[in-house]
Amino acid sequence: MIFYNDYFIIQTKNDIVRVILDDNNNNIIFIEIKDTNNEEVIHMVLTKATTLPQNVQDVLNKMMDRQDYSLVSSNGLYYIIATRGEMRTSGYSINIDDAKVIKDSDETTLEVNVSYVNPPRGSYVSQVLMYPYDVKSFTYDGKITKVIINTKVSRNITKVDYINL
């Protein structure tokens, strides 16, 4: 650990963490994480989006019948949309678990982790058409140039998708 006037740096095998303190050095005001490839990693604080702006709702409505992902910007917020498509029974869902922005000299990439939930084998489920989806919002004042979606579809399988912006 290296201490400076208003911040300190911790270096591990894979990351460099810079913790910036307030004027009194009592409170953390910003944490910057860079990997050893000199990329800056910013973990996003995701909020469950319940009331959607009309343009986000329109994108969601177009995606509901298929598995898809989208990133929509509206009123200073980014919205991540994940849909699973039509399911013929209850018990299915999709969750946006976390996201991070990775900045390097060429691109600003949003990397999102998504997981599927399926009904347990042998469980009783209702015969009903379902359209599982999840929408999370976050603030970021930069421009995102690339999106990578990592979807955990089972215990041992993760599928990777890219969103064209």
The model's pLDDT over 68-120, given as tens digits with 9 standing for 90+, comes to 999 999 988 999 999 999 999 999 999 999 999 998 878 899 999 999 999 99
Instruction: Please give the model's pTM, rounded to 2 decimal places.
Output: 0.76
What is the pLDDT averaged over residues 152-156? 79
Sketch the domain layout of the chain as residue ranges.
Answer: 2-37, 47-163
- CA dist., res. 39 & res. 47, Å (int): 25
What pLDDT sits at residue 128? 95
Number of helices (H), then strands (E), in the chain: 1, 15
User: With 0-12 CB in 10 A as exposed, 13-18 as middle and 19+ as buried, what is 93?
Assistant: middle
**In terms of Cα–Cα distance, which of 70, 78, 40 is closest to 133?**
70
Query: 122: number of CA atoms within 13 Å, CB side?
Result: 0
Q: Output the CA torsion 102→106→107→108 (10° steps).
A: 50
pLDDT tens for 29-60 read 777 676 666 678 889 999 999 999 999 999 99
